[in-house]
Amino acid sequence: MQLKADDVRLNWVGAVSLEINEKGVMPWRIPHGIRNLYHSQLQEKASMPAGVRFSFHSNTEIIKGQIANTPNDSQIDLYCDGKWIKSYDLKNANHFLFENLPAGQKLVELWLPQKSTFLLKSLELSSGAIIKRYDDTQLRWITYGSSITQCAGAKSPSFTWPAIVARQNHFNLTCLGFGGQCHLDLMVARLIRDLPADFVSICCGINIYGASSLGPRAFQQSIIGTILTIREGHPDIPIALISPIYSPTRENSKNAAGFTLAQMRNEVFQTVTILKEQNDENLFYFDGLTIFGPELNQYLPDQLHPNAEGYRYLAANFQRLVVNTIFGDSEN
């Protein structure tokens, strides 16, 4: 059974937009039609479908996809009814193939590469297979951050920390982790404002420290502007603001703007305090050192990014501290 990539029964969950042309379908994490309004480096990261999965109900026992060649080291993960089945290596591949799927009707989810682009040309299922659209009605979670949220170093796409947390809590994830590009851009704040959301988390500071893109005069004001912009579209939902995780070489070293990482954490905390004084009762602060602190230094091979095992620890701490604080100590 052959399907076109733009078949309406395929739901690209977690994608902000789809670029559809004669080549196929490519998911984006920004509105691709106005992508030139975003910084060029952010556009590059937004073309990588971190956290995106295309989903459908089917009784198929085979899934074969024709794709644009993927030169980078990346994978696609298959889940059936929420259970991991297999990862497929996409490096230098122009297709993927999963065989011997569980028999019967099931929810099929394919988690797409978090560190390379992905363009689907066509999809092949078992002969005579039944396929139905899946609409994800779970709680909608948007998480915004840096490469530590995009998670190139994760084992595979479904083992990034946002993916782990989303599956554990039955969240409908939209991941806005943009490697090197989390600078509290107004366009991203507007995007989050305009997307449907029940919960937003923002991990901010490390890219701003690294690029010295905002100094002490502008950093706090940029956080305030971001939160107030999001509140225009989501006045009452919980928003978690998380300061930078541990990075030993940056803790007490000033960048070109005069910030240490420790100072930035204090700025984030003070900003949340100011906003809560303005009656934002659903804004929460979490110290990045409690999410990933010095006790986990062995899982920071480059002193900045967690490795695959480190992302599992980060997910567990995010669950325990952030999700359980906001939603209670139970799965949602």
CATH code of the domain in which 21 resides? 2.60.120.260
Mean pLDDT of 117-123: 98
Q: Do residues 148 and 111 both lie within one domain?
A: no
> Tens digit of pLDDT for each residue in 73-103?
899 999 999 999 999 999 999 999 999 999 9
Express as a percent the part of the chain with pLDDT over 70. 99
With 50 as the cut, is the pLDDT of residue 332 above it? no
Q: Do residues 151 and 115 both lie within one domain?
A: no
Give the pLDDT band of residue 330 (cuts 50, 70, 90).
low
Does residue 170 come out as left (phi exceeding 0), alpha (psi in the -120 to 50 range) or beta? left
Alpha-carbon Rg for the chain in angstroms: 20
Cβ(42)–Cβ(181) below 8 Å: yes
Asked if residue 280 belongs to a domain, the reply is yes
Q: Do residues 148 and 127 both lie within one domain?
A: no
Angle between helices 161-169 and 308-317 (to 10 degrees): 40
Count: domains in the chain: 2
With 90 as the cut, is the pLDDT of residue 70 above it? no
In CATH, what number is assigned to the domain containing residue 210?
3.40.50.1110
Cβ(159)–Cβ(311) below 8 Å: yes
pLDDT value, residue 329: 78
Cβ(160)–Cβ(311) below 8 Å: yes
Q: Do residues 128 and 174 both lie within one domain?
A: no
> Tens digit of pLDDT for each residue in 166-182?
999 999 999 999 999 99
Structural domain boundaries enclosing 109: 2-133
Q: Do residues 155 and 208 both lie within one domain?
A: yes
- Give the residue from 107, 133, 159 where a domain finishes: 133
Cβ(73)–Cβ(136) below 8 Å: no
Neighbours of 278 (CB within 10 A): 10
Q: Do residues 24 and 65 both lie within one domain?
A: yes
Q: Do residues 167 and 296 both lie within one domain?
A: yes
Asked if residue 332 belongs to a domain, the reply is no
Bridge partner residues of 143 (DSSP): 175, 201
Q: Do residues 100 and 51 both lie within one domain?
A: yes
- Give the residue from 133, 155, 183 where a domain finishes: 133
What is the C-alpha to C-alpha distance for residues 26 and 12, in angstroms, rounded to an integer?
10
Asked if residue 281 belongs to a domain, the reply is yes
Mean pLDDT of 301-323: 98
Asked if residue 38 belongs to a domain, the reply is yes
| φ, ψ (nearest 5 deg) of residue 51 | 80, -5
With 80 as the cut, is the pLDDT of residue 116 above it? yes
- Share the mean pLDDT of the chain: 97
Asked if residue 149 belongs to a domain, the reply is yes
Which of these, 72, 209, 78, lies nearest to 152 by C-alpha position? 72
Q: Do residues 120 and 193 both lie within one domain?
A: no
With 80 as the cut, is the pLDDT of residue 226 above it? yes
- Give the residue from 79, 110, 133 where a domain finishes: 133
Asked if residue 319 belongs to a domain, the reply is yes
Global pTM? 0.97
Cβ(319)–Cβ(162) below 8 Å: no
Give the pLDDT band of residue 36 (cuts 50, 70, 90).
very high
Q: Do residues 221 and 80 both lie within one domain?
A: no
Express as a percent the part of the chain with pLDDT over 90. 97
Q: Do residues 119 and 218 both lie within one domain?
A: no
Question: C-alpha angle 214/261/200, rounded to 5°?
Answer: 70
> Tens digit of pLDDT for each residue in 263-298?
999 999 999 999 999 999 999 999 999 999 999 999
> Tens digit of pLDDT for each residue in 135-157?
999 999 999 999 999 999 999 99
With 80 as the cut, is the pLDDT of residue 301 above it? yes
What is the C-alpha to C-alpha distance for residues 264 and 136, in angstroms, rounded to an integer?
37
What is the C-alpha to C-alpha distance for residues 162 and 325, in angstroms, rounded to an integer?
17
Mean pLDDT of 18-46: 98
What is the C-alpha to C-alpha distance for residues 188 and 279, in angstroms, rounded to an integer?
24
Q: Do residues 256 and 216 both lie within one domain?
A: yes
Give the CA diameter of the chain: 64
3-state secondary structure 177-222: ECCCCCCCCHHHHHHHHHCCCCEEEEECCHHHHHHCCCCCCCHHHH
Give the pLDDT band of residue 11 (cuts 50, 70, 90).
very high
Asked if residue 75 belongs to a domain, the reply is yes
Q: Provide the residue type at 217 as one letter.
A: R
What is the C-alpha to C-alpha distance for residues 109 and 81, in angstroms, rounded to an integer?
8
Which of these, 90, 94, 85, 93, lies nearest to 61 by C-alpha position? 85
